[in-house]
Amino acid sequence: MSYQINLGQWNSVFAVPSALVDKHIKLASESQLRVILYLLRHSGDSIEKETLSRALGIAEQEVENALDFWKERGLIAESGGELTPPAPLPADNPAQPTTEKQKPEKHTSVSRAVKPDSAFVAKVMQEDKSLVGLLDEAQSVLGKPLSPGDTATLVMLYSTFGLPCEVLALLINYIASTSSPSIRAVERLGISWSDNGIVTVDAAEAEIERLTASREAWQSVSKLMGVHNIGKPTKAQQDYAYCWTVTWGFNDEMIVEAYERCVNTKGEYNIKYINAILKRWYEKRIFSLDELKKSESAPQKASKTKPSSKGSVFSADGASFDLKKYENQSIFDD
């Protein structure tokens, strides 16, 4: 006679990492739990994103967001297109507990930001009614209805990146004032603000003032130099213009002079070259054409140093620093 214990449905079981329940079950959404449980049940099988979507009855975007959620929390890792358990910590260097408050992780890649699913969005909006007002304002300011993805982006900036509704309202209104307003632009700048600690109304207003001044500075400088962008100006262009006009305080004449010297020497417009010329003048405290003329016409002090070799930035007679030669050096081409 043989005996067998009939466990019924318990005959077929699979393992679930303890961390999933101990650390993440409270934060994970329904879709995220579905995805991880399905993967654990079918471990060893090759599963496409489309298969997960059909099997679980959720959108492919939600599947992708769920996978990113578990990757970020270290429950799974991706290697060579395969999902695997994360690599264990070295035995001789275990993770040490700390009593200090951990700094929030910087989210440096916008394309990898994990957007919440519809269930989480509904839950957060139910808990904080001010989000409803924010969404209404966003639709009004941007001039179009928000898609579910747009709504998820704003909720993500609020819940994941820690931007209060008041700060988000300022952010959206600023983006609406630019030449290319979009939720994608709101997302990029919002993540940048979070990474740089711009999470209060005062900090947001100060940053908007700086960004507006940079934009206006480039509009002025580009007209002086006759530079016309095919698209919108780059951040570097705006930062250079702000530095020249606001930080260093150069007037229009000096900027035009630096531009003309650049073109005469290089044969083309080169913003780094122009910046190097202006930086040198700033260091010499030369802020007008008269001061520049006096500086360049002033007799050079004698130096005991022997004349340098050809191409030196020192004058041929061994005098001190030769500004014009310095401006022509290839150091500006970096």
Q: Considering just the CA atoms, what is the radius of gyration of the chain in Å?
A: 30
Per-residue model confidence (pLDDT) at position 314? 43
The pLDDT of residue 331 is above 70: no
When pLDDT is averaged across residues 264-268 and rounded to a whole number, the result is 90
Looking from the CA of 229 toward its CB, the CA atoms found within 13 Å total 14
Least confident of 74-88, 112-126, 172-186, 211-225: 74-88
- Residue-wise pLDDT for 198-229, tens only, equals 999 999 999 999 999 998 899 899 998 888 76
| Residue extent(s) of CATH 1.10.10.10 domains in the chain | 15-85
What gap in Å lies between CA 79 and CA 86, rounded to an integer?
A: 10
The pLDDT of residue 319 is above 70: no
Backbone angles phi, psi at 201, to 5 degrees: -60, -45
Asked if residues 85 and 73 have their Cβ atoms less than 8 Å apart, the reply is no
Per-residue model confidence (pLDDT) at position 187? 92
User: Looking at domain 15-85, which CATH architecture does it have?
Assistant: Orthogonal Bundle (1.10)
What gap in Å lies between CA 307 and CA 326, rounded to an integer?
A: 15
- Residue-wise pLDDT for 1-20, tens only, equals 666 666 666 667 778 888 88
- Residue-wise pLDDT for 89-104, tens only, equals 344 444 444 444 444 4
